[in-house]
Structure 1
Amino acid sequence: MGATVREDEEVASEDDLFEQSEVAADYMEGLLDILDIDGDIDELVVGDRPQVEIVGEELGGLVGPKGQTLDALQELCRLAVYRKTGDHSRLMLDIGGYRAGRRKKLAELGEKTAKQVIETGEVVKLDPMSAFERKCVHDVINATEGVQSESEGAEPRRRVVVKPE
């Protein structure tokens, strides 16, 4: 379920990825200043993906219900990167540890669902999720023998379906 790279696409260098995280961090720093919100911003590259993490108090408003505001801010950061570098970015933004915590809960859901499908032999359809959430579940399912997963439906009602192999 990982990203595929076409032959005519260049894979971004570590320096390019770090530059993307710096651009996004500068963008978020400006936003935090405008909103008068305190937060520490870390720029990093994890694997082949630039990341920006913001930690601090009173950040819930930047996450929003079910991470919707966080998703919108992530897209704005990606646009800022594109505008500055001309490169499309797979930048991941995390605020207040929301994505890290969500990833852990989704891994637990994936493990529980895989176990259920293996034990019952029945297909399980999970509730609709964002692309980030679906990828977290697919990663766990793909690492578990005896089950497989696919996504079905159209956004915003796209969901993971787990089946026996």
Structure 2
Amino acid sequence: MGYVEIEVRAKTVDLAVEAAMQELGVESREQLSVEVIQEPVKGFLGIGGQDAVVRVKRRQGRRRSRSRRKGGSKQATAAQSRGNRRREGTKSAKNRPDRRRAKPAPASSKTPKRTERPVSDDRPEADIEEQARVVEDFLTGLVDAYGLEGSVGVTWDDGVILADVGGEQTEALVGARGATMIAIHELTRTVLQRHTREPARLRLDIAGYAQRRRQALTIYAEQLIEQLMAEGGEIMLEPMSASDRKVIHDVAAAHEGVTSYSEGESPGRYVVLSRVAAEDSNSEEE
């Protein structure tokens, strides 16, 4: 009996087995022998994850050979016995009493009533100082969980929590074009929402990336507005996050004769800069 063996890597064990089935041309998982070499490990925000690795064997089927036997006397005996069984079955059927099917039980006419209970919000009301402590504790635990050396500073101003994660090693939490930092921002907001009914607005900066990003976007927007004033018309920017779009809107609002607005759905939402009459200029801020 021969075997065909392969190793497959995928996000989960089930996906790895499905890929092996397609590669081996197998329709049923029962035809395979699966050995898990490595269980998948989930990373945090896309960092530190590992795929599952399985070793899959396909057992080659063994052909069965059927031998035909000649024997007229045995075939005749078998046919005679089958005929006797049919006749006996006919006789016994005639002697059986008539069977009647019972009437199905009547269905209940009463339908159960659904009682809707009001959902109570048991989250406490926390002031901005307490919310700032929640943010600081979460971000400090996050930095420690990664084993990074860094500091977490949290302040608040005009109802907005300002969180700053500093340190050279914390740049690992920024990610490509700030993708990881955006994910951490959303995760921190979720933690706030679970601790209080009315969470405050949150601004997060890691390793100074948000500040550098705002400066670069401000220069970029100024250049586009200068081009717009010279050529007229409209300029459509690339899709941006909500915080980046706000920087563009703020820059446009500081210029007369320029308006800005956002179009599209996240994550493909983008800003459009348009030249208008000075008295009609306004910007849509988010």
For residue 97 of structure 1, what is the aligned residue in structure 2? 208
1:64 equivalenced with 2:64 (yes/no) = no
The reply to whether residue 112 of structure 1 matches residue 228 of structure 2 is no
What do residues 33-92 of structure 1 show as CA deviations (whole Å, max 9, x unaligned)?
Answer: 111111111111134311110100122221111111111111111121122223233211
Q: Which residue of 1 aligns with 2:151?
A: 40
Q: Do the aligned partners of 1:21 and 1:91 also contact (CA within 8 Å) in 2? A: no
* Alignment map for 1:1-165 (pairs within 5 Å): 16-165=127-276
Match of 2:169, SS state, is: coil
Offset at residue 99 of structure 1 (A) = 0.6
Per-residue CA deviation, residues 89-142 of structure 1 (Å, 9 max, x unaligned), is 321111001111101111111111111111111211111111110010001001
Cα distance in 2, alignment partners of residues 48 and 111 from structure 1: 29
The answer to whether the 8 Å contact 1:56/1:96 transfers is yes
**Unmatched tracts of structure 2, length 5 or more:** 1-125, 277-286
Q: What do you get for the CA RMSD once the two structures are aligned?
A: 1.5
Whether the 8 Å CA contact 1:122–1:164 is kept in 2: the answer is yes
Distance in 1 (alpha carbons) for counterparts of 2:174 and 2:129 = 23
Separation in 1 of the partners of 2:157 and 2:218?
18
TM-score (norm 2): 0.50
The 8 Å contact of residues 121 and 164 in structure 1, kept in 2 or not, is answered as: yes
Q: How much has 1:17 moved relative to structure 2?
A: 2.6
3-state SS in 1 of match to 2:267: coil
Letter in 2 for 1:49: V
Query: What TM-score, normalized to structure 1?
Result: 0.85
Stretches of 4+ moved more than 3 A in 1? none
Structure having the larger proportion of residues in helix: 1
Residue identity over aligned pairs, in percent, reads 38
Amino acid at match of 2:211: A
Note if contact 2:249-2:260 (Cα within 8 Å) is conserved in structure 1: yes
Structure number with higher relative contact order (C-alpha < 8 Å, ≥ 6 residues apart):
1
1:128 is paired with a residue of what secondary structure?
A: coil
Return the alpha-carbon distance in structure 2 between the equivalents of residues 108 and 66 of structure 1: 17
Displacement after TM superposition at 1:16 (Å):
2.6
Larger Rg belongs to: 2
**Hey, what's the Cα distance between the residues in 2 that align with 1:17 and 1:106?**
30
SS of the aligned residue for 1:144 comes to coil
